[in-house]
Chain A
Amino acid sequence: MSNADHEPREDDPRLLLLDSRDNVLVTRARIRGGETIAVSGQAITVPDDLPLGHKLARTDIAGGAKVIKYGAPIGLATTQIRTGEHAHVHNVKSDYTPTHHLADERTRYGSEP
């Protein structure tokens, strides 16, 4: 987990870079929707709450490109993901097996997250 090769572009202190090769950052604390935060030196306004342990794009990631975390590919971007955008099941898919989640069901039945 070295960031020696990382150009010193500013990131919000609540964002964690796990490996210099990564194109995503991990939230080390919850970030509230509406906050403006620094991501790779850009000012990004976060639309929705980003809970602890989630990822956002460190750079623009092209649709079809590998998403890199821990210095290793963790899936493919299914669409372009812009710098600062939440990278998750809505725009990243596995190269192995599809991810099962209940996010759509929660919305359908109106349950609180």
Chain B
Amino acid sequence: MTMLGFPRSDGRKGIRNTVVVGYLVECAHHVAREIAIPLRDRDVHVIGFPGCYPNSYAETMMERLCTHPNVGAVLLVSLGCESFNKYRLEYAIRESGRAVMTIVIQAAGGTRKSIDEGRAFVAEQRALLDEMTPVPMAAEELVVGTICGGSDGTSGITGNPAAGRAFDMLIADGAACIFEETGELIGCEHIMADRAVTPDLGRELEASVAKAARYYATLGYGSFAAGNADGGLTTIEEKSMGAYAKSGASPIAGLIKPGDIPPRGGLYLLDVVPDGEVRFGFPNISDNAEIAELIACGSHAILFVTGRGSVVGSAISPVIKICANPETYRRMADDMDVDAGRILEGKATLDAVGAEIHDLVLGLGSGMRTKSEELGHQEFILTYKTFEPIGPACLPAA
């Protein structure tokens, strides 16, 4: 199987060639959505930040997403009076070699004129990008993220360990793989620290989980939804043990934060819990917030393991849905790419399902599309957070 990618000026390659329409405040969201509608089935995706107050995390996220290798061109939509630094974002996108335009609704003359102007730019960019010739791409150029959502008592037995096997295979290929949600690693911190490539990194991993435990304790909830309990999960530490299995068995090469791009192949933990005192509410208000962060770290594709049955996809990067629960799979097969419940029924081994997931990821680079892409899922959410930069022990030299 030969993967093909779209080359970008920073040396990375994309497995998609998406036009992004990015709104810079909720007040511009409707216009952005209307601009994208005529071409929404042709890789035109809407992302954005709803807030009117400035936030450096959100500005970093938007910059990383707009310069993601799967993105070919960007239209920014501003109301005009919001605090988002649209000048810096447009500059960064242009410096990355991508076509970019900013529509300011107040200057353009309102909704209708902005939509017309935006649709013309998007159609023009779509046509130009469709002329681009992709080049061969190696598995070692891939970044792959993993998340679980709508977990149940099957997730930790089938889907998550199968995703972990796929991670081990991708890392053996030279790819960078990212697992996340430190709030769902509570209880696993010590066994995880033992897998770090240096003792100092191990201490950083433990500290990131301790931070998550403090943060969630202050909020009064764990990273645990009512449906998790319906599905047989009893405590956050039980959910954590299942979620941890997604990380596979490879050594942990580094700890990164949203927007940090892995410097080389290997396994990375993404710390998604904000730094400092608790503010702005829950670290990740829903699964798509975490998916957006994994993509901002350069993920070309996301492995999403579900037991209860999530239907989501994402803007920018394809989401492979791995269904852990065989009953759910039978009910929702149209939304699922992988039936990992076969493991529970004795019809497939963890290794076989892991290999199937690995091959699907490579297939995304040679024309295959996921169920959620075919169904038009392009969910995206970005909210307020604060982060300090990672410490020197977080990315040990190779």
Contact = CB atoms under 8 A, between A and B. Distances in A.
Interface string B320-339: 00000111000000000000
A48 to B, nearest CB: 13
Nearest to B191: A72
Given A28-B344, A52-B232, A103-B229, A73 B237 contact: yes
A109 interface: no
Nearest to A91: B234
- Tell which of A28, A29, A93, A96 has the most Cβ of chain B within 10 Å: A96
Interface in A10-40: 16, 18, 26-30
Contact of A75 (B152, B191, B229, B235): B235
A53 B234 contact: no
A18 B161 CA distance: 12
A75 to B, nearest CB: 4
B232 A51 contact: yes
Contacts of A88: 229, 232, 234
Contacts of A93: 235
Sort chain A's interface into a size bin.
35 or more
Interface in B151-174: 152-154, 156-157
A72 B187 contact: yes
A100 interface: yes
A97 interface: yes
A68 to B, nearest CB: 10
Given A53-B232, A92-B234, A99 B224 contact: yes
Contacts of A92: 234-235
Contacts of A30: 327
Given A53-B307, A55-B153, A100 B237 contact: no
Nearest to B239: A74
Nearest to A90: B234
A99 to B, nearest CB: 6
B237 A74 contact: yes
Given A74-B237, A97-B222, A97-B236, A53 B229 contact: no
A54 B307 CA distance: 12
A94 B228 CA distance: 14
A94 B236 contact: yes
Given A18-B157, A75-B234, A97 B229 contact: no
Given A28-B344, A74-B234, A88-B229, A100 B157 contact: no
Contacts of B220: 97-98
Contacts of B344: 16, 28-29, 52
Interface in B106-132: none
Contacts, number: 120
Nearest to B154: A53
Sort chain B's interface into a size bin.
35 or more
Given A52-B327, A53-B153, A75-B235, A96 B230 contact: no
Interface in A66-113: 67, 69-70, 72-75, 87-89, 92-103, 113
Interface string B292-303: 000000000000
B234 A96 contact: no
B187 A73 contact: yes
A69 B325 contact: no
Given A18-B157, A73-B187, A89-B229, A53 B152 contact: yes
Contacts of B187: 72-74, 95-96
B246 to A, nearest CB: 13
B221 A97 contact: yes
B222 A101 contact: no
- Tell which of A51, A97, A100 has the most Cβ of chain B within 10 Å: A97
Contacts of A89: 229, 234
A20 B237 CA distance: 19
A53 B222 CA distance: 20
B260 to A, nearest CB: 27
B230 A52 contact: no
Contacts of B221: 97-98, 100
A96 B236 contact: yes
A29 B327 CA distance: 9
A113 B237 contact: no
Contact of B234 (A27, A52, A99): A99
Nearest to A94: B235
A87 B233 CA distance: 10
Contacts of B217: 96-97
B234 A100 contact: no
- Tell which of A51, A74, A75, A89 has the most Cβ of chain B within 10 Å: A74
Interface of A: 16, 18, 26-30, 51-55, 67, 69-70, 72-75, 87-89, 92-103, 113
8 contacts: A75-B238, A96-B186, A96-B213, A96-B217, A98-B220, A100-B221, A100-B226, A103-B229
